[in-house]
Homo-oligomer: A and B are copies of this chain.
Amino acid sequence: METTQIATQVTELSYALDTFYFLVMGALVMWMAAGFTMLEAGLVRAKNTAEILTKNVGLYSIACIMYMLVGYSIMYPGDFEGGVFQSLANIGILGKDDADAAAVAAGDSYYSTLSDFFFQVVFVATAMSIVSGAVAERMKLWSFFAFSVVLTGFIYPVQGFWKWGGGWLNAGGFADFAGSGVVHMCGAAAALAGVILLGARKGKYGSKGQVNAIPGANLPLAALGTLILWLGWFGFNGGSQLQVTGVDNANAVALIFVNTNMAAAGGLVFALLLSRLWFGKADLTMALNGALAGLVAITAEPLTPAPLQATMIGAVGGLIVVGSIVTLDKLKIDDPVGAISVHGIVGIWGLLAVPITNEEASLLWQLIGVVSIFAWVFLASFVVWFILKKTLGIRVSEEEEYEGVDIGECGLEAYPEFTSAE
């Protein structure tokens, strides 16, 4: 065989490996949809469980469709000739893979465009999943779906473009490796806007300022959801290296896996210790949120820290999340699953921590990124939620809230035999 032929074969093999790596990482991120679904289903009351399940599987599906129709080309306009709706044209209608054999041979492409689309589409679903937990137990199902259409099709892609699509935040130097800001704080900002307009659940805050615990109905599901997210996060962060071929890339992906794992471990242990010291008990839900906080914290920069640093970045995230959950309750911001604290407050910590280990990042641009992404997503979401409130309405009736949204919205119960005595 001739040398040129072999060289082409090697290039094609490299292309296949990077594409396969991307698809496997994307499948892990898709699996995070199950993680959010189980986490949220475990942390709400039995009477609101079927509805939160419906929201989660529904929002994932809506995210996929909207991102294909418009979102992907808003976020990555450079990849498409002819303007904004080219993702519909190129991806949706043509199923076109720009990366053909000639392009690969010429060195213009190292993985399938469609594998990139798959990886991106599961990211937007993640952002939207964050919202569903925060507004649980009192929001109208179809208003939520309407908001999902706008967030996944428009609001998320605009700020995604700013950073990952090559926009101004990227040009300025804002660093957000896998999306502590672009994905997690984005979801939390949209959730916060919704929660403010929606108000707290009945009975959550007493007239004398006391905070009443409303325990989740099924903690094994919450633990399962957390472990699913932990696993999926290897894809979320590990896939964000975008390439595994070459010694440097392979080593980078390995370090990212290790750091992601260590940050979650650090977050869990420190949240558990803090809750033991503060509340006197090893609060499982705090531990789970601590692990997620560690994961969110490391997501902005999982590559430059050493594993011990990653553990500490996660640990600080775990401490922050406990304090944040308590504080938000004092502010009467009712977030049944702690999503705003985990993904928003800790997302900000993750972004601000980047310059500690990454010399190329600056605190200034990290702050600019935080403020601009938060402002855009919060304000745009607020407007959309506000319009929904004035039109469809966003809150279920008091009676439906009391009886549970499962019967009202879905016409069935999640556990008809376990709670029938009540």
Q: Which residues of A are at the interface with B, using a C-beta cutoff of 8 A?
A: 1-4, 6-7, 9-10, 12-17, 19-24, 26-28, 30-31, 33-34, 37-38, 41-42, 45-46, 49-50, 53-54, 56-58, 60-62, 64-65, 68, 88, 91-95, 97, 99-101, 104, 111-115, 117-118, 121, 141-142, 215-221, 223-224, 226-228, 230-231, 234, 238, 244-251, 253-255, 257-259, 261-262, 264-266, 268-269, 272, 276, 279-285, 287-288, 291, 305-309, 311, 409-422
Contacts and interface: CB of A to CB of B under 8 A. Distances in A.
A290 B295 CA distance: 33
A217 B262 contact: no
B251 A114 contact: yes
Contacts of A230: 30
A261 B64 contact: yes
Stoichiometry (number of copies): 3
Given A3-B3, A412-B285, A247 B15 contact: yes
B291 A416 contact: no
A34 B45 CA distance: 23
A58 B231 contact: no
12 contacts: A10-B10, A13-B17, A15-B250, A30-B234, A54-B284, A58-B272, A61-B269, A99-B251, A111-B250, A216-B416, A284-B410, A415-B418
Contacts of A216: 416
A140 to B, nearest CB: 11
Contacts of A26: 257
B57 A16 contact: no
A21 B254 CA distance: 11
B416 A419 contact: no
A417 to B, nearest CB: 5
B416 A418 contact: no
Contact of A415 (B62, B217, B265): B217
B417 A288 contact: no
* Residue in A65, A93, A99, A285 whose Cβ sees the most chain B Cβ within 10 Å: A65
Given A6-B7, A99-B251, A37 B223 contact: yes
B253 A23 contact: yes
A306 B227 CA distance: 34
Nearest to A411: B281
Nearest to A105: B247
Given A257-B114, A261-B121, A50 B307 contact: no
Contact of A307 (B27, B91, B99): B91
In the A-B complex, list the 6 residue pairs whose CB atoms are closest, starting with the nearest. Answer: A281-B411, A95-B306, A61-B265, A112-B254, A92-B308, A34-B227
Given A12-B246, A418-B418, A254 B34 contact: no
Nearest to A223: B53
B265 A38 contact: no
A7 B4 CA distance: 11
A409 B282 contact: yes
Given A17-B20, A19-B251, A68-B262, 6 more contacts: A16-B246, A38-B224, A57-B268, A91-B306, A112-B255, A418-B419
A346 B224 CA distance: 28
Contact of A268 (B58, B279, B419): B58
Nearest to A7: B1
A293 B219 CA distance: 28
Contacts of A50: 219, 284
Contacts of A411: 279-283
